[in-house]
Structure 1
Amino acid sequence: MSIRRMEGRDINERHRTSTTLELLFDLIIVVAVAQAAGGLHHMLAEGMYATGAVRYMMAFWCVFIGWMNFSWFASAYDTDDAPYRITTAVQMLGAMILAAGIGDIFLHTPDLTTAFISFVIMRLAMVTQWLRAARQHEAGRATCIRYAVGTALAQALWSATLFSGGAAQTAVFVVAAMVELAVPYIAERKGGTPWHPHHIAERYGLLVMAAYR
């Protein structure tokens, strides 16, 4: 398999659909969402409605962020070559670890250690992808670098959730989530990435299907 330059996909590419690699990533997401739903069901059965809802939102957000980071980058820069596939495989490993640790979020005292480890793995791979794009896509270099830096800073903030508990942990989680949402806005304020509208619409449609399974 040849190594291609990561110069950005054609936003007008016809018949752009999800790749086999993306669908495989989605299968992992299905498992993670199912784990979160199981944790919610258990807490609701015990009458812990508010706590269960908060924990479910935390669990689903962790899953969603991993999926979102992967999907938007893939829409813009998927080269489907060996380096891209290997790095994506690392992200999938992180997603599988996250799925395995989702249940820990629903413990009497939530444990985010496994989720944090999974995020470190996924984020290292994601930053690697952004830096490769920055090196090979001259027109989008500044945007890609901002994404890489923003992703790393967001991950550093997530680490604070490990050193807090109770209401403080929830508050830190919310702040970290807001920072996550701010990264794309800041990164693309002076230039966007070449993501494909139809491809992204399909990806979110598949995410909804995964959430309802």
Structure 2
Amino acid sequence: MNETIRKATWLELFYDLIFVVAIAKAVDTLGHANQGQIEFESYFKYILIMIPLWWAWTGHTLFANRFDNDDLFQRLMTLGQMAVAASLSVFIDPDFDPNYLGFLLSYVALRGLLVLMYGRAAMLAEGACRDVAKFLGLGFTVGLLISLSSLLFTGPWKYVVLYLGIIVDIIFPLLGRRYLARAPVESHHVPERYALLIIILLGESVANLVSSFESVAVSLQTVVAAVAGFLLLAAIWWVYYDNLERRIYGQELGTGQAVIYLHLALFIGLGGIATMIGFAIDPVLAVADYKLLVGLSTAVFLIALQLLLQIYHPKAERAPLLRNAVITLVLSLAALALAPTNVTVLLAMTGVFLIHAISDIRRQRAI
């Protein structure tokens, strides 16, 4: 384990703020009901937007984890990435075609700056860290060039090639897992950074709650939905951060890939939860479609969280965790099957999450 505890810098926190706008626009992709429905295409586009956002943010976070020296070059490169990330957010839109070129060039520029940072790190670092910088710099260059080559294609194929490059980028570190383990991530910084990403999503959920409440007439139903939504977010916060603090923060993480990649699912699931709270306050989404949104969002979030907890908890504690997860699953299915309206679905799911949080508190006290 590294002797020095690595903490997020002020520049990293500033970096996060740039992504607040991008994440809000991505979540808004799900926030429009067409005749009481969210079209399948909207779910697909939402995921396609969230993946490069998560990966762009992850790229800088992992570089900073291993190679941060806070010198002039790194500050300028980080500020450059922030400017490009702001540009990227401009071109986030469910209508892909008019925004394709701006999105592509912004994404490629952002990754290109990261490659330059890895190139310099390879020149300055020594031993395993130098080898890791070379390895990642090479892999990310390949992914970047594949995405950039989408300019040579037209129609749907340009998107296929764009995302092929992103997939290569994402998979490359997984293929080099043993190689990257020679320079493990700092065990405090990575969990802290991803916890801050979750805070951004929780903040977006609160913002969505407030904006939805402002857009409707105040009634008992809207007040109940708003209160239930806030309690749901509180329960999510409690379960996630209690377990992060107790079992993940400061532990040996190796490459940290379980934390990194499972947070993509947490990221996507929480964005859906933000949307589902809004549609309970302003119930323009048909009940069947609302239940689909709730089921998908909570399932993605809970499964990813359970996998993360199973990986980092001792074997003796995994059975109670799994039992709580099964109870939560059964209660969630019952809530989705029996609740007749959007508000009652949200109320029921809030109750399920509160039960899960209380069970988790009792489990931890029994340890």
TM-score of the superposition, structure 1-length normalised?
A: 0.83
Instruction: Please state if 1:80 is matched with 2:63.
Output: no
For 1:165, which of 139, 155, 160 is the aligned residue? 155
Alignment-derived partner of residue 57 in structure 1? 47
Alignment-derived partner of residue 20 in structure 2? 30
User: 1:186: how far off?
Assistant: 3.8
Alignment-derived partner of residue 135 in structure 2? 146
For 2:124, which of 136, 139, 146 is the aligned residue? 136
For 1:181, which of 158, 162, 170 is the aligned residue? 170
Instruction: Please state if 1:41 is matched with 2:28.
Output: no
Rate the CA distance shift 1:110–1:183 in 2: closer, same or farther, 3 A.
farther
Greater displacement, 85-94 / 153-162: 153-162
User: 1:49: how far off?
Assistant: 2.0
Which protein is bigger by CA-based radius of gyration?
Answer: 2
User: 1:183: how far off?
Assistant: 1.9
4+ residue runs of structure 1 moved beyond 6 angstroms? none
Amino acid at match of 1:116: L
Rate the CA distance shift 1:27–1:200 in 2: closer, same or farther, 3 A.
same
Alignment-derived partner of residue 108 in structure 2? 120
Rate the CA distance shift 1:193–1:93 in 2: closer, same or farther, 3 A.
farther
2:108–2:148 CA contact under 8 A, matched in 1: no
CA distance in 2, matches of 1:154, 1:19: 28
Rate the CA distance shift 1:188–1:131 in 2: closer, same or farther, 3 A.
farther
Greater displacement, 183-192 / 203-212: 183-192
For 1:11, which of 2, 27, 34 is the aligned residue? 2
1:154–1:176 CA contact under 8 A, matched in 2: yes
Tell me how many residue pairs correspond in the alignment.
199
1:91–1:122 CA contact under 8 A, matched in 2: yes
CA distance in 2, matches of 1:189, 1:164: 38
Amino acid at match of 2:148: S
1:95–1:122 CA contact under 8 A, matched in 2: yes
Unaligned runs of at least 5 residues, structure 1: 1-9
TM-score of the superposition, structure 2-length normalised?
A: 0.50
**Any idea what the Cα deviations from partners look like across 1:103-141, whole Å, max 9, x if unmatched?**
2xx117463211211122212211111011100112122
Alignment-derived partner of residue 273 in structure 2? none
Alignment-derived partner of residue 21 in structure 1? 11
1:161–1:173 CA contact under 8 A, matched in 2: yes
2:92–2:103 CA contact under 8 A, matched in 1: yes
TM alignment of 1:190-201, pairs within 5 A:
190-191=179-180, 192-201=182-191
2:49–2:92 CA contact under 8 A, matched in 1: yes
Amino acid at match of 1:77: F
User: 1:177: how far off?
Assistant: 3.6
Q: Which has the higher contact order (CA 8 A, sep 6+)?
A: 1
SS in 1 for 2:183: coil
User: 1:173: how far off?
Assistant: 4.9
CA distance in 1, matches of 2:167, 2:148: 15
CA distance in 2, matches of 1:193, 1:164: 41
SS in 1 for 2:119: helix
| RMSD across aligned positions (CA) | 2.2
Greater displacement, 115-124 / 91-100: 115-124
User: 1:170: how far off?
Assistant: 5.3
